[in-house]
Structure 1
Amino acid sequence: MMTSEACPNSSGTAPPRDPVPDDACDAHIHVFDARFAEAPGEKLTSTPAQATAADYRAIQRRLGTRRAVVVQPRAYGTDNSATLDAIAQLGAARTRGIAVLTPEAGGAELRRLDAGGIRGLRLTLHAAAGAPTRFDMLMPLAERIAPLGWHLQLHFQAAQIAAHAAVLRQVPCQLVFDHLARLPVGGAHADAAFALVRELLERERAWVKLSGAYLNTHSGPPAYADTVETARALVRIAPERLVWGSDWPHATEEGHKPDDARLLDLLSEWAPDTATRTAILVHNPARLYGFA
């Protein structure tokens, strides 16, 4: 049941305009918990001091979502302890996670993470300087995780997607592109990146997260009107390979935080059909992340 309440790291108090279906999933959140040490040098200026699993429960009450995917933030490097702890706190049956590792991680560590609810690895290279992973790790990581049925989640800029097209076509596991694949409004690399994302969607080799509208806009909130064309195009191409995420606690957004309910309302603009939205919120994440 949705509620009206103030939530940490989120503006507004009202719930979304429309109730979400049962078992709706927020497929992209981060947790920052002061009980866990951050990796040296990884602190970002906008990283929240606290955005805990307990804080996120207020977002779930407000949105009406039940399932969640906790994505390892850059701040913790390759120590996935905070992410595993958040999965356990939010409930292992309805929460999954995305970890960050380098190819040196052993089989025992992969099995431990799998048992803890991890279902993929993230490469956050949109700003590559100081990141715990590198582009040359992409294929070795894909080969390590393919036998587990995990996927690689990529936070790449459009230019990076286009530049690494040959490798992305060959990876032996599924790919998940973060934040509308960071497809820009115009720009020199938009067409090439979109063409590759479309190819991989149609080949059933990739998924896209309908998230992070504020990372892909010139028009800005609350409507993020210039994201509509890209999002609707993705919905037309492969509605069965899309998931939605809030990106709470919006670590890139300094000062005024987005309104998570209004971000969920965007999905009605991007996917006006009720059955399609139900697939994006329930059925698609159930398949991708292995919810019962």
Structure 2
Amino acid sequence: MHVTSPGYPLAANAAYTPSLHNLQHALEFENTIGISKIVLVQPSIYGNDNSCLLDALKNIGPSNGRGVVGIDPDTIEMGTLQEWHQLGVRGVRLNLKSTNVQFTEEVLRGQLRRYADIIRPLGWVLELFIGMEAIPILERTAEHLGVRLVVAHCGAPILPTVNKRTYPFDPYELDGFQALVTLLQRGNTWIKFSAAYRFDPDPEMRGIEVLAQELLKKAGNRVVFASDWPHTRFDGLDVRPFVERCMQWTDAAGLTEEVFSLNAQELWH
């Protein structure tokens, strides 16, 4: 989830101006869905200025909070990362999706290596918001990075349009899905069940459901739930139907405790 406040400076390329969604609001929301320990992720609007996130972590304490920050791997100092580690930071985020970054395989490989090299001594996680069509690059690169990876937002799939779907469709027909499953089964990559509404306009989420059920079947020990609060650019969204649907999927697979708690504890320890 994220915390935001108009009191913190925006990055020059910020795509929107946040309203007030601070730590108190975040905890109140998480309580409505029965969650007490949270992982705060740096939103793209702040770039690499993690002040808002770090201030929230200082308030909540490392026993109840973890953080995923934004950095420039070429300029960040190890001493700074070590200070953040004491606050509960356990990962860095690379957002290539919502920022519409264009890249070649060679460029992405180099970028991933630079991030991995700086966080490897700390045992941190590299979180990627990347389109599913680019995940084959990760599959070819991940084993050489020496860090744990987490793929955000259900892998950001490009689903068939609602009026052209027939159910059940084969998720392996989606560009990058097989590579995602392979990565998860290797054991060093996790995926977040989050933000289905960003990729599936079907109110029943039947497209994401097809993917979710297969991922739980093939790699249920590498799936974590994420609320994506405050659902930036989807103001007023009621996320409870998605939470309920996730619980239906995990209950059917016998993996609810794993997806909502145990897997996250392993990932963000």
**TM-score bracket for this pair, using the shorter chain length:** 0.7 to 0.9
Match in the other structure for 1:52: 22
CA distance, structure 2, for counterparts of residue 234 and residue 31 of structure 1: 29
C-alpha displacement at 1:91, in angstroms?
3.5
Query: Alpha carbon RMSD of aligned pairs, Å?
Result: 2.3
C-alpha displacement at 1:102, in angstroms?
1.3
- Any residues of structure 2 matched to 1:83-98 within 5 Å, and which? 83-98=53-68
Cα deviation per residue 1:125-177 (whole Å; 9 max; x = unaligned)? 0144579xx83421111121112111110000112223454223422101100
Q: 1:39 to 1:128 in 2, by over 3 A?
A: closer
Cα deviation per residue 1:173-224 (whole Å; 9 max; x = unaligned)? 011000111123249x9644111111111110200000111122131x3x22
Select which of 124, 130, 142 maps to 1:150.
124
TM-score normalised over the length of structure 1: 0.80
Match in the other structure for 2:90: 119
Select which of 222, 247, 272 maps to 2:251.
272
Residues 97 and 120, structure 1, Cα contact 8 Å, conserved in 2: yes
Residues 97 and 118, structure 1, Cα contact 8 Å, conserved in 2: yes
Q: Bigger CA drift: 195-204 or 274-283?
A: 274-283
Residues 136 and 180, structure 2, Cα contact 8 Å, conserved in 1: no
Q: Bigger CA drift: 65-74 or 139-148?
A: 139-148
SS of 2:251's partner is coil
Cα deviation per residue 1:46-84 (whole Å; 9 max; x = unaligned)? x43211111112212211111110000111111111111
SS of 1:209's partner is strand
Amino acid at match of 1:217: D
Match in the other structure for 1:178: 152
TM-score normalised over the length of structure 2: 0.87
Match in the other structure for 2:222: 241
CA distance, structure 1, for counterparts of residue 118 and residue 134 of structure 2: 22
CA distance, structure 1, for counterparts of residue 124 and residue 98 of structure 2: 24
CA distance, structure 1, for counterparts of residue 31 and residue 208 of structure 2: 27
Residue-pair matches, total:
254
- Any residues of structure 2 matched to 1:212-251 within 5 Å, and which? 212-219=195-202, 221=203, 223-251=204-232
CA distance, structure 2, for counterparts of residue 176 and residue 139 of structure 1: 15
Q: Bigger CA drift: 84-93 or 98-107?
A: 84-93
Q: 1:176 to 1:190 in 2, by over 3 A?
A: farther
Match in the other structure for 2:48: 78
Quick one: higher RCO (CA 8 Å, sep 6+), 1 or 2?
1
CA distance, structure 1, for counterparts of residue 116 and residue 72 of structure 2: 11
CA distance, structure 2, for counterparts of residue 276 and residue 35 of structure 1: 40
The alignment status of 1:208 with 2:191, answered yes or no, reads: yes
Q: 1:80 to 1:226 in 2, by over 3 A?
A: same
SS of 2:31's partner is helix
Unaligned runs of 5+ in 1: 1-28
Unaligned runs of 5+ in 2: 162-171
Between the two proteins, what is the percent identity of the paired residues? 26
Residues 34 and 49, structure 1, Cα contact 8 Å, conserved in 2: yes
Match in the other structure for 1:199: 182
The alignment status of 1:109 with 2:80, answered yes or no, reads: yes
SS of 2:190's partner is strand
Match in the other structure for 1:159: 133
Cα deviation per residue 1:68-119 (whole Å; 9 max; x = unaligned)? 1000011111111111111223332111010011112111111111111111
Residues 61 and 88, structure 2, Cα contact 8 Å, conserved in 1: no
Match in the other structure for 2:4: 32
CA distance, structure 2, for counterparts of residue 81 and residue 270 of structure 1: 36
Q: 1:281 to 1:164 in 2, by over 3 A?
A: closer
Q: 1:212 to 1:190 in 2, by over 3 A?
A: farther
Match in the other structure for 1:63: 33
